Each structure stands twice: as structure tokens, then as C-alpha cells.
Amino acid sequence: MNEIILCKYGEIALKGLNKSTFESMMVQSIKRRLRNCGQFRITKAQSTLYIEPLNEDCDVDEMVDKLSKIFGIVKICRCCILEKDMNEILTKSLGYIEDEMETARTFKVDAKRSDKKFPLKSPEICREMGGAILERFPHLKVDVHNPDVTVTVEIREQKAYVHAGQIDGAGGIPVGSSGKAMLLLSGGIDSPVAGYMMARRGAVIDAIHFEAPPYTSERAKMKVEKLAKLMTAYCGDIKFHCVPFTEIQETLRDNCPEELFTILMRRLMMEIAQRIAQAEDVQALVTGESLGQVASQTMYAMVCTDAACRMPVFRPCVGMDKSEIVEIARKINTFETSILPYEDCCTVFTPKHPKTRPTVEEVEAAQSSYDFEPLLQKAVSETQSYIIKND
Ligand code: ATP
Ligand code: MG
């Protein structure tokens, strides 16, 4: 039976004059993300996008899975397409919704009749459909307040659609509607979650990763690329920048007070990230920091890090507990990769007793005791940038 997928959007429906811009961003995202799913047509009406597979090659399961990761979509319904004839609706739709009805105990019918010329009114459609369902699935009872399944009959301009329930979409607003952010992506649990959260609010994500070979291995870098790849299911293609950081770290180790090593390293990371961000027309930096999680994430340390920044630094995980971050990491499928035991440059040369209350003055004084400028320029010029594609 022919199927169509209805994607309902929530927040963007409220954006007034910008609505059509948001809608076209969603349509663009959908076209890009579903490009390997066969031919389909997208139409829009009443805060809903209709995605109609056009040939047998279309894998509707895969389409629904991909759509469930596109920000801006709040609900997804998979419907069968029928002629606008009540008899046909009653005879053909029941087989389509059979699985849902067999496992439910209670149901109700909802009718949406946007074609006011259809001979039956909504309450009549509900009554007829409800009767037919009870006859075919005698174990069911009607519950209009808290049903296990809601069967929806939609009478639209061209056709009628029937579905038994909707799944949650990814929520948020379309990627591309809020500017571009540079995510500092480590191999850990937190930074992929931070990137996901910013993309959910419409940011295009670039990722920057610092590596320190030979202290960090090729496999550690491949793990981070894998994380970026997993993130593309939600963020779309990600431009990835890999920065050689070894020389800067060794120089810091040899020339700066040990207890300030981590905070100085983080300031230099931010400096490089900003230079690349500026060249890429990126407006803000994003990290996976969470307040108080480790010594470099106390408020004092964050103040010292931010003092080295000329653009906003967003930390969407800042107020979250680790368990909450882990929950999202599992949901977006990055957790299992994040916990693979490869080293990160942040764990190279870490001091035994990092200072948890550094001041901007002492940190700036320590940093200016050595001229890092040539090393910064070299790291930027040797950075490798490439696109990690969503497939
Ligand atoms: P994560 O789980 O994201 O690695 P973390 O709890 O391990 O975070 P840190 O290692 O202190 O915390 O790093 C804090 C943040 O700094 C990370 O969330 C990330 O945004 C950034 N960061 C750390 N190491 C790197 C790296 N090698 N390359 C890019 N960014 C990094
Ligand atoms: Mg880390």
C-alpha cells in the first residue's frame, strides 16, 4: 500500500514572517539527509511537510529513522494513502493499522477534515471508523481520554490518510537558522552532546580537534572522527579541523608553572579555535564543559579561559550532571564510542595538583613569559580541514 510520511513542526510554525525561511531550511535539510533514500516528493500545508516516496526503491523505515533526527520536526506520522471514499477508507486502512491495534487495549479515532466538501463530517467519520475497528478487533475498547492508540483519519485536498500513532521528532529548530559554531571536540562524552544541543537550536557545527602525536595515537584521532560522523546524523555534514598541538604542549610543559599547565593549554586551544573560527565565518565557540566537573571547569578556571576569548563561548552542558549528559550521549548514539579507552591531548602532561582557583592576572603573566605567537601561527597553518559527510 502506498505510504506518505507527515512531519509536523512546532516552534517554527510560530515564527511569523520568518516561517517560510524556516520551512525552506527544513525542506533543504530533508532533501540532503534523505538523498540516498530513493526518489520522493515534499509538499507543505498547515505546518506539516508531506514526504511521499515515489518509487519502490524508497526504504520508508530508513526515511523515518533519518527524519526523526532532523531538527525542527516535532512529530512524525507514517500513513497509508487512500482515495477519499469512506468505503475505501474503512476496508483498506484496517490492515495497515493492524499491528498497532493488535497490541493495544484501548483506542480512539480522531478525524481531521480539511476538505470541507467531504460528505461526512468529522464526528461521523469517527463513528464509522470506530465501528469498523471494533468489529475487526473485538478485544479493543474505546477510551477517548487516555487511549493506547489514536487512529487518525485525515481528509486532505487530494487524498485521505490514515495512521495509528505518531513518533516523536528531534524537536528544536532547523540547522542553519541560528548561525555557525565551532565545537571543541575531544574524544570524551561531553563535547558531542554539547554539539548536538547547539545544532538542536539551529547552529551549523564545525568541529575542531587538538591532537598531540606521538602522545596521542592515530586511533585516538579516528575515534574523534567517528564521533563527528555519528553527530552528522543530527547536525548534517561537519567541517572538521584537526590541529597539531604537540609542540605547544611541550613548550608549555618546559616553560610554564606546572599547576597552571591545564588552564594555559585551554587558553591556547581557545586562541587557535578562534583564529580558525574567524577564517570560517563562525560566530561562537562551543565546549562540553560542565561546572565543577574537573579542576579546569571551576568558575575561576572558566573565567581565565574566557579572558582569552574574543567571541562568545557556549557551554550547553554547564548546568548538567554527568548522568544527564550520559543519557543524551546514549540517545544520540555517541556514548559507546566516547568510552573507548584512547588518550586525549588534555590528559598528556597533566599536573598532579592543578590550580582550581587561578586568577586572570597570574595566568596572563605566566602566558606572556613566553612568546607563543610563532607556535600558534604554525599550528593554525598546519591544521588539516576536511568535511565529514552524513551518509
Ligand atoms: P569531554 O567529555 O567532552 O572530553 P571532559 O569532561 O573530558 O569533556 P576536558 O577534557 O576537561 O573535559 O575538556 C573540556 C572540554 O574541552 C571538552 O568538552 C572539549 O570541548 C574541549 N576539549 C578537550 N580536549 C580537547 C581536544 N583534544 N580537542 C578539542 N577540544 C577538546
Ligand atoms: Mg575529555
Q: CA 41, CA 2: separation in Å to the nearest integer?
A: 13
- Is-contact 180 282, C-beta < 8 A? yes
Q: Which helix (H) or strand (E) holds 242?
A: strand 238-244
**Ligand 1 atom nearest to 338, measured from its CA:** 2
pLDDT per residue as tens digits for the range 280-321 = 999 999 999 999 887 778 899 999 999 999 999 999 999 999
Q: What is the 3-state secondary structure (H, E, C) of 61-84?
A: HHHHHHHCCCCCEEEEEEEEEECC
Q: Average of pLDDT values for 160-188?
A: 94
**Ligand 1 atom nearest to 189, measured from its CA:** 2
Average pLDDT of every residue of the chain: 93
Q: What's the gap in Å between 214 CA and the centre of ligand 2?
A: 18
Q: Binning pLDDT at 50, 70 and 90, where does residue 234 land?
A: very high
Closest ligand to the CA of 289: 1
Determine if ligand 1 sits within 6 Å of the CB of residue 344.
yes
SS3 state of residue 288: coil
pLDDT on residue 346: 78
pLDDT on residue 343: 82
Q: Average of pLDDT values for 187-205?
A: 97
Determine if ligand 1 sits within 6 Å of the CB of residue 345.
yes
Question: 38: exposed, middle or buried (C-beta count within 10 Å: 0-12, 13-18, 19+)?
Answer: middle
pLDDT on residue 293: 81
pLDDT on residue 22: 85
Q: CA 367, CA 266: separation in Å to the nearest integer?
A: 11
Confidence check: pLDDT of 363 > 60: yes
pLDDT on residue 210: 97
Share of the chain above pLDDT 70, in %: 98
pLDDT per residue as tens digits for the range 129-142 = 999 999 999 999 99
pLDDT per residue as tens digits for the range 23-68 = 888 999 999 999 989 899 999 887 889 999 998 888 999 999 999 9
pLDDT on residue 15: 64
Torsions phi, psi for 112 (to 5 deg)? -120, 120
pLDDT per residue as tens digits for the range 83-118 = 999 999 999 999 999 999 999 999 999 999 988 999
Assign residue 328 a region: left if phi > 0, alpha if psi is -120 to 50, beta otherwise?
alpha
Question: 36: exposed, middle or buried (C-beta count within 10 Å: 0-12, 13-18, 19+)?
Answer: exposed
SS3 state of residue 48: strand
- What b/e readout covers 339-367, taking b as 16+ CB neighbours within 10 angstroms? eeeeebbbebbeeeebbbebeeeebeebb
Q: CA 46, CA 44: separation in Å to the nearest integer?
A: 7
Grid-cell match 555519528, residue found: 230
Confidence check: pLDDT of 18 > 80: no
pLDDT per residue as tens digits for the range 237-263 = 999 999 999 999 999 999 999 999 999
Per DSSP, 390 falls in state: P
pLDDT on residue 157: 85
- Is-contact 50 159, C-beta < 8 A? no
User: Which of 182, 183, 184, 186 has most ligand 1 atoms within 8 Å of CB, for mutation?
Assistant: 186
Q: What's the gap in Å between 346 CA and the centre of ligand 2?
A: 7
Q: CA 329, CA 94: separation in Å to the nearest integer?
A: 38
Share of the chain above pLDDT 90, in %: 82
SS3 state of residue 360: helix
Q: What's the gap in Å between 386 CA and the centre of ligand 1?
A: 21
pLDDT on residue 17: 58
Q: Which helix (H) or strand (E) holds 274?
A: helix 261-279
Of 261, 277, 288, 287, the C-alpha closest to 380 is 277
For atom 16 of ligand 1, which residue has the closest CA? 287
pLDDT on residue 14: 59
pLDDT on residue 12: 62
Decide which of 114 and 373 is more confident: 373
Bridge-based pairing of strands 48-53 and 160-164 is unpaired
Bridge-based pairing of strands 204-211 and 284-286 is unpaired
Torsions phi, psi for 274 (to 5 deg)? -65, -40
pLDDT on residue 16: 64
Q: CA 39, 42, 47 angle in degrees (round to 5)?
A: 155
End-to-end CA distance of the chain: 28
R_g of the chain, CA atoms, integer Å: 26
What amino acid occupies position 161?
A: Y
Torsions phi, psi for 343 (to 5 deg)? -75, 155
Strands (E), 245-380: 284-286, 313-314
Q: CA 56, CA 78: separation in Å to the nearest integer?
A: 16
Residues with CB under 5 A from ligand 2 (ion): 186, 188, 344
Which range has the worst mean pLDDT, 10-19, 157-166, 225-234, 330-339? Answer: 10-19
